[in-house]
Amino acid sequence: MDSHNRQIKVHRPLTRDEIDSINAVKVLAEGVGANIEVLEKMPDVDKRWLAIARTDLQKGFMSLTRAIARPTTF
């Protein structure tokens, strides 16, 4: 087990499978973020809804990461 996550006080030690799962979520989130950046450059895209989508997707990926990591604090 890597010692890096032991230094974060609010996290319990993560297993290798949990770390790998979180990293997979991060890769997926990066791809979605890149797609949003492309959409931002398109003039006919509703920027308000795009901003809402960005925020909601960020919250979703954060929730997914927290579901895996199960932090011990709020």
Q: How do residues 19-55 score in pLDDT, each as one tens digit?
A: 999 999 999 999 999 999 999 999 999 999 999 999 9
DSSP sequence for 22-44 = HHHHHHHHHHHHHHHHHHHT-TT
Rounded to the nearest integer, the mean pLDDT of the chain is 91
Print burial letters for 29-38: b (CB count within 10 Å at least 16), e (below 16). Answer: beeeeeebee
Please compute the mean of the pLDDT values over residues 54-63 and round it to a whole number: 98
Residue 5: per-residue pLDDT: 54
pLDDT band at 73 (very low <50, low <70, confident <90, very high): confident
* Residues 11 and 65: beta-carbon distance below 8 Å: no
* Residues 57 and 32: beta-carbon distance below 8 Å: yes
Report the C-alpha gap between 3 and 14 in whole angstroms: 10
Residue 72: per-residue pLDDT: 84
Residue 4: per-residue pLDDT: 59
